[in-house]
Amino acid sequence: MDNQNGLKYCPFCGWKYVNIHTRTHESYVTNFYIAYCSNCGAMSAEYPSKEKLIAAWNKRATDNLTSDERKKSEVV
Ligand SMILES: [Zn+2]
């Protein structure tokens, strides 16, 4: 169910391997974290911590996917 980095499967295409990218802004001290699906190109908003990113991404993944069984039946 979960990716190795704690992210659930992509809520748009069901891809397993959603990556976490970091992005730096010159005007901010901290890095921002973004979830990026290399399969369909879906990208999350920027979050100031990995924990917030994972929580937000997983909430969306849970909201959009009713169950793994449904997902499997949709992917032929
Ligand atoms: Zn995707």
Q: How much distance in Å is there from the Cα of 12 to the middle of ligand 1?
A: 5
Q: How much distance in Å is there from the Cα of 56 to the middle of ligand 1?
A: 15
Q: How much distance in Å is there from the Cα of 27 to the middle of ligand 1?
A: 30
- pLDDT at position 73 over 70: no
The domain limits of the chain are 18-73
pLDDT digits (tens, 9 = 90+) for 27-55: 877 789 999 999 999 999 999 999 999 99
Can you say whether residue 27 is alpha, beta or left, with left for phi > 0 and alpha for psi between -120 and 50 degrees? Answer: alpha
Q: How much distance in Å is there from the Cα of 3 to the middle of ligand 1?
A: 13
Q: How much distance in Å is there from the Cα of 16 to the middle of ligand 1?
A: 8
Q: Which long-range contacts (CB under 8 A, 24 or more apart) does 69-75 make?
A: 71/9, 71/14, 74/14, 75/14
Q: Using pLDDT thresholds of 50, 70 and 90, give the confidence band for residue 6.
A: very high
- pLDDT at position 67 over 90: no
Q: Look over the chain and give the mean of its residue pLDDT values, rounded to a whole number.
A: 82
